[in-house]
Structure 1
Amino acid sequence: MGAGLSNALQRRRERYQVKRDRNATADDRAGPERQDGSSVKTEPIAPITDFIETDQDSEGSPSTGLPQATAPQVFEPVEIGNYVSTPLVGASTGGDILSKAQGVSFQGFTAITSIVNNNAAIQPDNSEKDSDLVKKILAWISDINYHAIQADNYRKRAAGTGKWAFEDPVISKWLKGAIHILWGVGMPGAGKTILSSIIIDHLTQRAKTNKRICVAFAFSRYTEPFTGEEVLSGLLRQVVQDHPCALQFVKRKYEDHLLHGTRMPQAEVLEVLTAIFNSDLFDEKFCALDGLDEALADTQVDILDTVSELPVNFLIMSRPLPLLKELVPEATLIDIKINDADIKQLIEEKLRRMATLRDLLKEEGMKEVVLRTVVEKSSGMFLVASLQLNMLGGSLHIKALRAALDALPVGVNDMYQATMDRIKTQEGADLALGALAWLVYARESLSMEMLRHALAVETKTFTYDSELLVNSNTLLSVCCGLITFEPQTNLVRLVHFTVREFLVTYLSKAGLTHRPCWLASFVEKFILECQRFPWVHPISHEFDFLNSIQVAAACNFHSLLARWLGSDPSPTNYAPPSNLDLNSRSAKGRTALTLAAVNGHLETAELLIGVEGVDI
């Protein structure tokens, strides 16, 4: 992480120098200033006008493809579903994209002028064709569903928690638009993601009653390492989806890229977002990103560069990242710590599900003792507090409860160790260990059904037995709070990325490592038979075709490669490839080492670099 971040920062500094040189002559043309001193673009931006042809010149800027400004004109409101919007200052009368957007009808002067100028009638509202076009454009912009992730995160909160945030003077100031960038930092498990979801929900509820408020959000998670381009595209999709009037900024881009089967690169997405936010569509604009620390190093730098450029109020949540603070020196930092009131709400929520503990806390003064002890020993980490309450739930009487309080571990790793000790002593320990191993080493996020069926496979014979299927609630229970199920995305995950960091070491000591010796013989045979295996590049998403050595490297089967290369004397199920050429190239010219590096497989890359004669 350190080397990757340093390289990313260096590349960022070089880009910044080029940008500064390019803009050096523009100082005397700077426009009005925001409260924070940075210039703001204030000229009107006219919409694209090519949905209904006009006699006017409606071409966009040849360099950007975005609409050019025209002389201000005033028209009647435009109705979008249940929302009546005042058209853009400088809007054309030529029947722009809104005339074809789903649920749009023009009124009065706008409709009449469009008919006169174009000698054509406005298309009927809500046509199936237009609805399909909007869906296609949204899917083209991004296929990431951040709304589903937000719904799952918000569901995990304990009722009544997070109210303090709206009384906090710094957060309140940001919500009023007085702070450009608010960066919430806290230790792992401090409740940053839940707090983000609470603030996002507050903003989206406001936006439902006022369409002049724009809200977009994103989440970075270690299981889905989104690029900066994907994050920005996800934000743009939300803006267009929630505000059809913003389609005008995207439609021409969509048509251009449709011809080539491509999507907008990061710079182009940023350009469109900036144009939308600089227009007069919105009075208030908010964006939020949770989990910046879980993103790749390059993505972190890209996002922070973008944050400083976008004319929106931006909220970031992450662990402390002091090396990145220099990228956004104007950001206001706020510490995210566990709140006593939230702990009390968490206890109340847990008690509804723990009848035995609920009865024990009826003893005079015991609830206050539990509250005080958990606040002290959780060290400001909401996740630890939740796991501690799970441990207290096993107490059968007051004496056991007092002993459990005394024995509560302090710190996240000690808490995870205590939870694993608890798992090992219960029935279903093997099931829990298997589930945790799958979630740690799976190459992609798993649905609950996928995990249930994976655990129904005998690991020694690799045979599936439907009678080994377990109930999802049972699976969640035996893992003692270390995994969580998200019904909106239908995914099961480790409760926090720090659980994975702990389990990688723990499972290796327990002998449950991700070793290719787990491969069934038919899997090894399949790899050997690969000559032109179709493979998708994780960043460019282009197709390539790989041979068996390249497949093994791309999939991180480093132990299998080690046995093929003779550095591991362990036997294989089948003889190695007859032509073991590590420098062989795929259809797109990639070697096994290149594929290992592109996918971030350190073990495989180190193995291949150590082989004499390999091209580096």
Structure 2
Amino acid sequence: MMQWLSSADFSVQQHDIITRRQEGTGQWFVDTPKFKWWLQGFDKTLFCLGIPGAGKTMMAAIAIDHLCRMILCDDIGVAYLFCSYKAQTDQSASSLFAALLKQLAQSRPDITAPVTHIYDEHSKRGSRPSLDEILRVLQSICLNYTTVYIVVDALDECTDREGARCRLIDKLRELQARIDVRLLFTSRFIPEITQKFQSNPILEVRAHEEDVRRFVAGQIPRLPNCIQRDEKLKQAVQNKIIEAADGMFLLARLHVDSLLDKRTKQKVLSTLEKLSKGLATLDEAYKEAIKRIDGQLAEDRSLARRALSWIICVQRLLTTKELCHALAIEPGNKTLNYDNLYDVEDVISVCAGLVTVDEESSIIRLVHYTTQEYFERVRLEWDPGAQEEIAVACLTYLSFDTFRSGSCANDEAFE
């Protein structure tokens, strides 16, 4: 019944994000007076703004983790959403509210009668509940809690087609007017979003120096031996990356990755010398990553370009298995050649730190929304044949002999 209500599982994403946290990171966030006032209900809505790569999603995950650890009784509810630019087609207002309803109903099996009612009503007709129905049931479920905390990450990545983003904000506020619902949103600085929260407390999310230091220290074991064995050089790496990151975890990560192939002290020092400060260096860091990709052996360079093209161009997120199958397809194939499958670790290793895998869900994605934006600006220049290659691969796959008989008549044939 819950799967019918919503196939989204944001708890998997929460687990993937929070497990990447360096211990102690973001403690400043939950210790701020504004967060504490929101927690205690003095302010019902907290709006968290931040520049790209500042760690807003991590702070949202830290807030969720803090709530889940703090709440020890059944009459306080916690639900959350992670909006994503790659899942916009699946994140309409109806599907987002259905995901919130699913979380709050799952936490209390004793209050699921309203959900059972709409399930019985719609499942026999093969229909879906309307947004108004979902909201009515959501309100009914929320009435069983004394307080409900709702965290919405990345409002800026929520689609605004058919006014989905505005409806999400407005309907949550309507719910808040009737019930003790406390809302926390994160977003980039986008005028049409920020103006909706002018009357609410605003907490700026920024990577604190101590947090960046913890992050970089945790990355040192990944770096070449010439850094790990030289305490002075290790300290120089940490200090320079912290300075150059300028409040962005993303930039710190990209700078760390730029050192992965620097295996002499001179090359490390030369790379550190090039690091400059400021937001504009995000593009510079991406350019440097592309240089590293293009400087690899021909096969590795080709693999990186093909893998990145698939991840950039797809309309939804891919699993690691899906990507590896896509990369194994060659024009003229009549079947999938399993001897041509890549190991996903090899795919990641040639992409210069620009892709990451969510361990729990096996989703492979770009490290950040800004990575997608950067490649959309340079794609025609960097890889002009990407769309054609993907089209050929898809047509080749659809032409495999196994599909020649058409669609399957029953589940057994499909299996």
Relative to structure 1, is the Cα distance of residues 521 and 148 closer, same or farther in structure 2, using a 3 angstrom cutoff? closer
5 Å matches for 1:201-600? 201-207=65-71, 209-225=72-88, 226-277=91-142, 279=143, 281-297=144-160, 298-311=163-176, 312-354=181-223, 356=225, 358-360=227-229, 362-363=231-232, 366-408=233-275, 410=277, 411-427=281-297, 428-458=300-330, 461=332, 464-516=336-388, 519-520=391-392, 523=395
Q: How far apart in 2 are the matches of 1:334 and 1:361? A: 39
Check the 8 A contact 2:223/2:259 in 1, yes or no: no
- For the residue of structure 2 that corresponds to 1:392, the secondary structure is coil
Which fold has the larger relative contact order, with Cα–Cα distance below 8 Å and residues 6 or more apart in sequence?
2
Partner amino acid for 1:488?
A: E
CA distance in 1, matches of 2:292, 2:69: 41
Distance 1:485 1:356 in 2: 25
Q: How far has the Cα of 1:358 moved from its partner?
A: 4.7
Deviation string, structure 1 residues 389-410 (Cα, Å, up to 9, x no partner): 1213433344332221111255
User: How far off its partner does 1:161 sit?
Assistant: 1.3
Structure with bigger gyration radius: 1
Residue pair 2:333, 2:396 contacting (<8 A) in 1 also: no
Deviations 1:104-152 (A, max 9, x none): xxxxxxxxxxxxxxxxxxxxxxxxxxxxxxxx2x123211111111111
Q: CA deviation at 1:249?
A: 3.2
Structure 2 letter corresponding to 1:274:
Q
- Given the alignment of the two structures, is residue 173 of structure 1 paired with residue 40 of structure 2, yes or no? no
2:49·2:203 contact (CA, 8 Å) conserved in 1?
A: yes
Q: 1:470 to 1:515 in 2, by over 3 A?
A: closer
Secondary structure, counterpart of 2:112 in structure 1: helix
Quote the Cα distance in structure 2 between the aligned partners of 1:372 and 1:167: 26
Q: Which has the higher helix share?
A: 2
**In the alignment, is the contact (CA less than 8 A) between 2:48 and 2:205 conserved in 1?**
yes
Count of aligned residue pairs for this structure pair: 387
Q: Aligned AA for 1:487?
A: E
Equivalent residue for 2:46, pick from 177, 182, 207: 182
- Deviations along 1:73-120, one digit per CA (max 9) or x if unpaired, are xxxxxxxxxxxxxxxxxxxxxxxxxxxxxxxxxxxxxxxxxxxxxxxx
CA distance in 2, matches of 1:521, 1:432: 16
Is the counterpart of residue 143 in structure 1 residue 7 in structure 2?
yes
| Cα distance change on mapping 1:522 and 1:155 into 2, 3 Å | closer
* CA 1:347–1:265: 2 relative to 1, 3 Å: same
Please tell me whether the aligned partners of residues 85 and 158 of structure 2 are also in contact (alpha carbons under 8 angstroms).
yes
Shift of 1:514: 4.3
Aligned CA distance change for structure 1 residues 309 and 525 (closer, same or farther; 3 Å) = closer
Q: 1:221 to 1:517 in 2, by over 3 A?
A: closer
2 CA distance for matches of 1:306 and 1:373? 46
Task: Identify the residue that residue 158 of structure 1 maps to in structure 2.
Answer: 22
Aligned equivalents of 1:368, 1:276: Cα separation in 2 = 53
State the TM-score, normalizing by the size of structure 1.
0.59
Amino-acid identity (%) = 26
Q: Which runs of 5+ in 1 are unaligned?
A: 1-135, 528-532, 535-616
SS at match of 1:296: coil
Would the aligned equivalents of 2:306 and 2:386 in 1 still touch at CA under 8 Å? no
**CA 1:330–1:267 in 2, change beyond 3 Å: closer, same or farther?**
farther
TM-score using structure 2 length:
0.86
In structure 1, what residue type is equivalent to 2:211? D
> Can you give the 5+ residue segments of structure 2 that lack an aligned partner in the other structure?
400-405, 408-415
